[in-house]
Structure 1
Amino acid sequence: MHVIYGGTFDPIHHGHLRLALEVGERLRGVPVSLMPCHIPPHKGDTGATAEQRLRLLELAIAGEPRLSVDDRELRRGGASFTADTLRQLRKELGAKVPLAMVVGTDAFAGLDRWNEWWAIPELAHIIVVQRPGIVLDPKGEPARLLEERSVGNAEDLYSSASGKILNLNPPWLDISATGIRDRIGRGLSPRYLAPDAVLAEIQSMGLYGACPAKNF
């Protein structure tokens, strides 16, 4: 099983990291690859550059063998389309290795607005992580897809290479990258919301309005 968890990670925080570990543990302890996107098609510009976000990710997972960073979308450049990334991974893994991608309910609710969204279930399984307050439109394509392809437990994903959807409801740390950026910009401490090494690097680089001369 190969599992990817994509996102802007602007910046990476404990909510991202804890979720990645929870998903891996539900799937026989497999490692999870965090995949930062280059230009997020649905979010617009990021607060940090691709290189800075990658640096923060590497600091965040240092010493944690169950997590890795896959920077292929940063190296590829341009807008980051999931279908293109999954095709590349499928070519590398072969046709039979189970491949799964992790998305939150909020992202999954807009799946039918993604580039070539219909190809995604044919290339990989989808692990939908429940986020509080997000409800799918019962008449929308994502809800239909979930009804057609939903499986009951994580073990079901090992029986095929792609095509299934697993709903997970792991413990959720209510931390947002937006909230962290806002706190830093207002001169408030973001301590304990992200790894200390990440926050120290944010401060050192002066990201998100941080003052390098002032401790968080």
Structure 2
Amino acid sequence: MTGNLQQKPIGLLGGTFDPIHHGHLRLALELYERLNLAEVRLIPSANPPHRESPAVSAELRLEMVRVAIDGLQGVVADGRELMRSGPSYMVDTLKSIREEEGARPVYMILGMDAFMNLHGWHRWDELLNYAHILLVRRPGKLLPMTHVMRGFLDLNRAKTLDELQIRPSGKIYIEDIPPLTISATQIRGLLATDRNPRYLLPRPVLEVINTHQLYR
């Protein structure tokens, strides 16, 4: 890699972001800096097919993402899933990004729990056609020895990050990162009981929540 911005990989972090919080943001910033990415894109899911519908509209969740990252270098909002009707399938999102980015390496960022459930995703076995998987793991956490995804991981695992940087897609790489133990469920629970979630999420996000009386 030459370090040219056009050649640096991009990271994709999808989720409901219901609401976005410092755990999401710290992970995005950590990966942006640690892996020398061109950017990390935060992609709110409009109609997530694998979980209950979010408590807040996709438009407001995208607004919260945008105010959360205002002025933050290297992290951007991507609202493409709001532009599509029907379920928000990641394979469709990756395909559209691949069409835009050509041969640039693309990293789909997943936590361990999401990866272990990947076999339930729509056309999950096609995801590596369009992107690499960057599997974020808590330091010291062991991989399950027997699981349907274990063979998929072993078959496609990259031992070094260089293996991802020389091709646009097709590999799985594990990066150990200490988590911030913050959850959107925790924040929604605090708001629902009229408690203050300050310092768990950015102040501008809390202002949007209070303005629209969300999660009450």
TM-score > 0.5, shorter chain as reference:
yes
CA distance change for structure 1 residues 123 and 179 in 2, over 3 Å: closer, same or farther? same
CA distance change for structure 1 residues 56 and 102 in 2, over 3 Å: closer, same or farther? same
Aligned equivalents of 2:139 and 2:190: distance in 1?
Answer: 22
Aligned partner letter, 1:70: D
Cα displacement (A) at 1:149: 1.6
- Does residue 205 of structure 1 match 2:212? yes
Deviations 1:54-86 (A, max 9, x none): 110010000012100110001113211011111
Aligned equivalents of 1:25 and 1:2: distance in 2?
Answer: 12
CA distance change for structure 1 residues 16 and 4 in 2, over 3 Å: closer, same or farther? same
- Of all paired residues, the percent bearing the same amino acid is 42
**Count of residue pairs brought into register by the alignment:** 208
Bigger mean CA deviation after superposition, 191-200 or 156-165 = 156-165
The correspondence for 2:169, drawn from 153, 156, 162, is 162
Aligned equivalents of 2:127 and 2:23: distance in 1?
Answer: 25
Deviations 1:115-136 (A, max 9, x none): 0011011211001111589765
The correspondence for 1:77, drawn from 81, 85, 88, is 85
Note the 1:29-68 alignment, pairs <5 A: 29-68=37-76
Aligned equivalents of 1:31 and 1:185: distance in 2?
Answer: 34
Aligned equivalents of 1:131 and 1:203: distance in 2?
Answer: 33
The correspondence for 2:156, drawn from 137, 142, 149, is 149
Per the alignment, residue 5 of structure 2 pairs with none
Aligned equivalents of 1:57 and 1:202: distance in 2?
Answer: 12
Aligned equivalents of 1:109 and 1:135: distance in 2?
Answer: 13
| Contact 2:105 2:132 (C-alpha < 8 Å) held by counterparts | yes
Cα displacement (A) at 1:3: 1.5
Bigger mean CA deviation after superposition, 76-85 or 112-121 = 76-85
Per the alignment, residue 108 of structure 1 pairs with 115
**SS across alignment from 2:215:** helix
Aligned partner letter, 2:129: E
Runs ≥4 residues deviating over 6 A? 132-135
Structure 1: gaps spanning 5 or more residues: 210-216
- Does residue 18 of structure 1 match 2:26? yes
Aligned equivalents of 1:129 and 1:207: distance in 2?
Answer: 30
- Does residue 176 of structure 1 match 2:183? yes
Per the alignment, residue 27 of structure 1 pairs with 35
Bigger mean CA deviation after superposition, 142-151 or 193-202 = 142-151
Structure 2: gaps spanning 5 or more residues: 1-8
- Does residue 91 of structure 1 match 2:99? yes
